[in-house]
Structure 1
Amino acid sequence: MANIKSAKKRVLVNQKKADRNKSIKSAVKTSIKKVEAAVVAKDKEAAVAALANAISTIDKAATKGVYHKNNAARKVSRLSKAVNTLN
């Protein structure tokens, strides 16, 4: 552990931010997996519903700075493309 007060604070603040980012990233990954599972099962309705939820989650993560906006756009694009291939 650091000796200087400001360094101690940085350690605590960085840990808090890392925990928050980890939680948000985990939620994004879970929502993406739900969309991909629906696509594999060829369930159009479930895939569309899961896609809407995933897009919302990904956009929130990008807004909070967890993901770069281009990274978020790429994730949304890939999921949308996968869902649109279903008939």
Structure 2
Amino acid sequence: MKTNGKYFGGVWELANIKSAKKRILVNRTKAMRNKSIKSGVKTAIKKVEAAVAAQDKAAASEALLSATSVIDKAAKKGVYHKNNAARKVSRLAKLVNNM
């Protein structure tokens, strides 16, 4: 396969203009940051669900408090839309409250 671009970090970079090259790097950095934050949210949600499955009300409410904080921070940073974050928190709260 012959291209005019440069192989950079698992992706063929075809940009020639300096600003376009910078955008590629910035977008890659932001994507990694967003991926990390989303992973943290998923972990927090799993902790709540595990506590609910174990029927441990105290651990579930503590995990819910932590998960709510993590989800709200992700929404504040723009990783999730505020309604998406609110929906996630609401579903977790409903799980814990219905124990």
TM band (smaller chain)? over 0.9
TM-score for the superposition, normalised by structure 2: 0.86
**Match for residue 52 of structure 2?**
39
AA in 2 matched with 1:52: L
**Match for residue 69 of structure 2?**
56
User: 3-state DSSP class of the match of 1:42?
Assistant: coil
Counterpart mapping for 1:6-45 below 5 A? 6-45=19-58
Query: Number of aligned pairs?
Result: 86
CA RMSD of aligned residues (A): 0.4
Gaps of 5+ in 1: none
TM-score for the superposition, normalised by structure 1: 0.97
Deviations 1:22-80 (A, max 9, x none): 00000000000000000011000000010000000000000000000000000000000
Gaps of 5+ in 2: 1-12
Which structure: greater strand fraction?
2
* Alpha-carbon distance between aligned partners in 1 of 2:79 and 2:19, rounded to the nearest angstrom: 24
* Alpha-carbon distance between aligned partners in 2 of 1:25 and 1:47, rounded to the nearest angstrom: 20
Query: Which of these two proteins has the greater Rg computed from alpha carbons?
Result: 2
Q: Which has the higher contact order (CA 8 A, sep 6+)?
A: 1
Runs of 4+ in 1 over 2 A off after TM superposition: none
